[in-house]
Amino acid sequence: KEFATYIQIIDPPEAIRTGLTAEVEVLVNTLANQLMIPVQTLHEDQGQAFCLVRSPYDHNNPMHADTLGGKHGDPDDEFSVEIRHINYLASNNKFLAIKDGLTAGEMVVMNPRSEESILIRLVTNYRARKALDTFSTDGNSTLSEQEGKDMNKKLGYEAISSFSSVDTNKDGEIDISELGNLIDRTQNLLEVTEQKEINVEEVLNSTEQEDPLAEFKERAESRVANFWSAMDKNGDAKLDKDEIAATRDPAGIQLDDTNKDGEVSKEEFITGMAKRMKNNAESGGGSRPGGEGGR
């Protein structure tokens, strides 16, 4: 990448003249013996990073069913694709340095968004499996009505407001397919937000409290400026219900409505984006190579 940069030269030599130009390489970071993948293999959605991985086809593997990874290739070289949730340490415009989620030797799919239908159903299935691992306390990989209520309580909101409407086959249990349909429809990750204990004494004794989101708010504000006008049709610096519904991720944007007035102000939107950027950075995900972008 090339950047226009202002520098100050301390004690410049006499040979330096105004108007001279220079090419400078800046070493930002060095990672030794690091697993790397091309940035084109990355798919990010709601702060989570994924890759599609090629795997030998196994008709006994439920993840290789036609409704998930499917069967591909020639008869003598059949394969399926599986989803991997990854975290990466750093990135540039070419590569990602992988922290976890992939192992050396695995074959990752270039441009996974070109197989959007497979990608969406595998990401949804991953999220449904993760939710069932968390909330299905009896280990049968389904949710009973009581487990659904317990899940709502742990989440702090009604993710399942009507059990019968989610239990479409009316067997008294919500299976992975039914839960996946709910996740796909609402774009709700069904993840419990970790609560961290706050040392009140340290807070009270601190003479100056910096905003932990300051850096991310600045970056988020810069990015939002590129697409806010396209979302805020009437230019009133907030998104009303109709404007939210017209976006690609209405459910996600509604989560930014912190004062619960049914609208999302520009400040709320920027703060929400900053929080997601901060959480992604702290989890090792870094920032998306191309920027977070609009929803």
Q: Do both 111 and 137 map to the same domain?
A: no
Q: How many structural domains does the chain have?
A: 3
Q: Do both 77 and 129 map to the same domain?
A: no
**pLDDT tens, per residue, the chain with 295 residues:** 666 777 778 888 888 777 777 777 777 778 888 999 999 999 999 999 999 999 999 999 999 999 999 999 999 999 999 999 999 999 888 999 999 999 999 999 999 999 899 999 999 999 999 999 999 999 899 999 999 999 999 998 899 999 999 999 999 999 999 999 999 999 889 988 766 666 666 666 654 556 788 888 988 888 888 888 889 988 899 999 999 999 888 888 999 999 999 999 999 999 999 998 888 777 765 444 334 444 4
Q: Is residue 4 part of a domain?
A: no
Cα-based distances in Å from 254 to 18, 81, 170: 53, 33, 30
Q: Do both 163 and 234 map to the same domain?
A: no
Q: Do both 233 and 268 map to the same domain?
A: yes
Q: What is the CATH number of the domain that holds 263?
A: 1.10.238
Q: Is residue 16 part of a domain?
A: no
Largest separation between any pair of C-alpha atoms in the chain: 85
Q: Which domain holds residue 227?
A: 212-282
Q: Do both 87 and 40 map to the same domain?
A: yes
Of 68, 84, 115, at which residue does a domain stop?
A: 115
Q: Do both 104 and 138 map to the same domain?
A: no
Q: Do both 44 and 102 map to the same domain?
A: yes
Of 115, 131, 166, at which residue does a domain stop?
A: 115
Q: Is residue 57 part of a domain?
A: yes
Q: What is the CATH number of the domain that holds 173?
A: 1.10.238.10
Of 57, 92, 115, at which residue does a domain stop?
A: 115
Per-residue b/e over 239-276, b at no fewer than 16 CB within 10 Å? beeebbeebeebebbbbbbeeeeebbbbebbbbbbbbb
Q: Is residue 144 part of a domain?
A: yes
Q: Do both 135 and 110 map to the same domain?
A: no
Q: What is the CATH number of the domain that holds 89?
A: 2.40.420
d(CA 211, CA 196): 17
Judge residue 42's burial from the number of C-beta atoms within 10 Å of its C-beta, 0-12 exposed, 13-18 middle, 19 or more buried. Answer: buried
Q: Is residue 205 part of a domain?
A: no
Q: Do both 74 and 44 map to the same domain?
A: yes
Q: Is residue 69 part of a domain?
A: yes
Q: Do both 100 and 133 map to the same domain?
A: no
Q: Do both 216 and 249 map to the same domain?
A: yes
Per-residue pLDDT at 65: 95
Q: Is residue 8 part of a domain?
A: no
Q: What three-state secondary structure class fits 230?
A: helix
CB 128 within 8 A of CB 189: no
Q: Is residue 196 part of a domain?
A: no
